[in-house]
Structure 1
């Protein structure tokens, strides 16, 4: 009889399976591209014998895929494997960051965040099914299209699905020390717009009021509000088309992250206080999507961490647990009080950059962790 330790995980096979996932580029704002990725994964889930469901996208974003893995109680509440298939990398990034292996490192857009982890946990289910090993609890998979922009279109779907389950596994990339996440900071996004007065920059410069200049001054003010417990970062800035025109409109986006909900609300108040509708150059601040704080040390989550640590020790590595910034969909499930173990995916570095990569050794390592969790949660 095949045991968990006998499951035939093979690094080269896993990399070969991952390649089409990475080469199917899927930036959040390109719904057609995201849906091509959903097509690929839905096909793989169907090939496992899973009962798959395509959930149409909304808000101009891509679809979601939900799948009940074969089990005598398939479809019932048990373990939810929750992940996103969108990335921050635009189509064409492969020209600069091709999928490639160099020794113990493998590169590719979205490989670390979070296609690598999603693939590993799906491969773990594939190997368990092939070996005829039945998990104590049925497993449901939910892959979504919009985590990288705060999950505006699928939060309700995630929360509704999560409430049916006892445990949530989120294979986001591991923390820098290889550890898991057992709580996450609160996050809010803001849309900013300055509106000035246009003029010809060479002929009547003094008649104009620059929206760009106003926004630029505010950027320093916003980022200057950052503390160790509440951070502010302006990451998007759009304005101007003609250099000989004084800009009349400038748009920007700001991300605020805080260690507690109270600190987040204080940060929100500071941002909204920047509204200035009566000035010569109007400043408008609108609050966007928010991720609630996921408080650490919840008993159910800590029990999951303890189990993960036992499994990791048997495999030969360590898994620490800590609260972290950088939101994920685990914010939603953890905030609901559902036992959630996050950042249990691959190890790597430089996510969201043109050097995004994973440590190849972490593929098999995390696959064994995944099978242990699937087979011992609820046992």
Structure 2
């Protein structure tokens, strides 16, 4: 079947995507994420899937697993893996509302990655309406916590991937529109400084500021960045009263490396920061880690298939290894052929300018159909 033959309509797809984007679903708001899972479950069910709701844990929302009818139901097939949580807190719609301007559609989470997830569901719906059965059975798994490193669903994703032959990840297309066939390793760290409180006006010299110590430590951590291993501090929490010398300060650090050995060395350097300086204690603990995913023969074969499909559709698809983790790190590191970042094109992910290019909805839905109908 030709991937361009199904009647995809951008306006209809926008109408279906709008409720998803307007259902804000920040990772740390489990109830909000569950509301988003409700919308996805309904659309997957209406596309013909059998739906399973998987309860959340560790304070996060739940997941949705959808299996489509197939003569080989239950046998290894294709897993479409995506997340429905976003980095945007509830209320972001007021700052970046749903709107369509100059061929772009805006909204929190539309690029990362509700747009890509939605075109995957639409591809499956159009296949069902056309009565076309894919060579392999298809499972869709939507999870709630990718934006914080997938602490509660990594095992779920890995186990589901092991039951399948291929994994497709409709994360947003890379900056130049390319697919991703490998990803760098990522580690997260929690850093805590503990000082000694005092009154900032009466007895400033008696205190040992945890904030001041953390400020120095942040500069030291970010100065560890090299081309091969980066360090960035993205979250800092401290202080309650301006007239008190702070006794504690907490920060979160993200490290990314192109190779596992580079990340391992970075982890050693971070953990070596544990200790005491100027009567302030520094504690560094590891958070979640994403392994290096290096492209292998199976992944590159799936890419070559995708490249040929894209040529038929009318555009060139290149590929690369990329920074910025995804759940493809897990499936690719397991050795399961994985093609990542085949979702919509756009810019501004994780910002108040997040948007997609409207013409990429049909383009990427056709790519998904092509993959689903040709992977064997």
Tell me the TM-score normalised to structure 1 length: 0.98
Alignment length, in residue pairs? Answer: 376
CA displacement at 1:46 relative to structure 2: 1.4
1:236 is paired with a residue whose SS is strand
Alignment partner, residue 131 of structure 1: 130
CA displacement at 1:69 relative to structure 2: 1.2
Give deviations 1:244-303, integer Å, cap 9, x for gaps.
00000000000000000000000000100110147511000000000000012x000000
Alignment partner, residue 220 of structure 1: 219
Distance, in Å, in 2 between the alignment partners of 1:191 and 1:134 is 48
The ranges of structure 1 where at least 4 consecutive aligned residues each deviate by more than 4 angstroms after the TM superposition are none
1:252 is paired with a residue whose SS is strand
Is 1:143 the equivalent of 2:142?
yes
Distance, in Å, in 2 between the alignment partners of 1:129 and 1:47 is 10
Change (3 A) 1:9 1:143: same
CA displacement at 1:4 relative to structure 2: 3.9
Alignment partner, residue 236 of structure 2: 237
Is 1:73 the equivalent of 2:38?
no
Alignment partner, residue 292 of structure 1: 291
Report if the CA contact (8 A) 1:75-1:140 is conserved.
no
Alignment partner, residue 336 of structure 1: 334
Alignment partner, residue 256 of structure 1: 255
Contiguous gaps of at least 5 residues in structure 1? none
Report if the CA contact (8 A) 2:2-2:370 is conserved.
no
2:213 is paired with a residue whose SS is helix
2:4 is paired with a residue whose SS is helix
Alignment partner, residue 8 of structure 2: 9
CA displacement at 1:70 relative to structure 2: 2.1
Distance, in Å, in 2 between the alignment partners of 1:49 and 1:170 is 21
1:5 is paired with a residue whose SS is coil
CA displacement at 1:373 relative to structure 2: 0.3
Contiguous gaps of at least 5 residues in structure 2? none
Give deviations 1:93-143, integer Å, cap 9, x for gaps.
001011110021110000000000000111000001000111000000000
Tell me the TM-score normalised to structure 2 length: 0.99
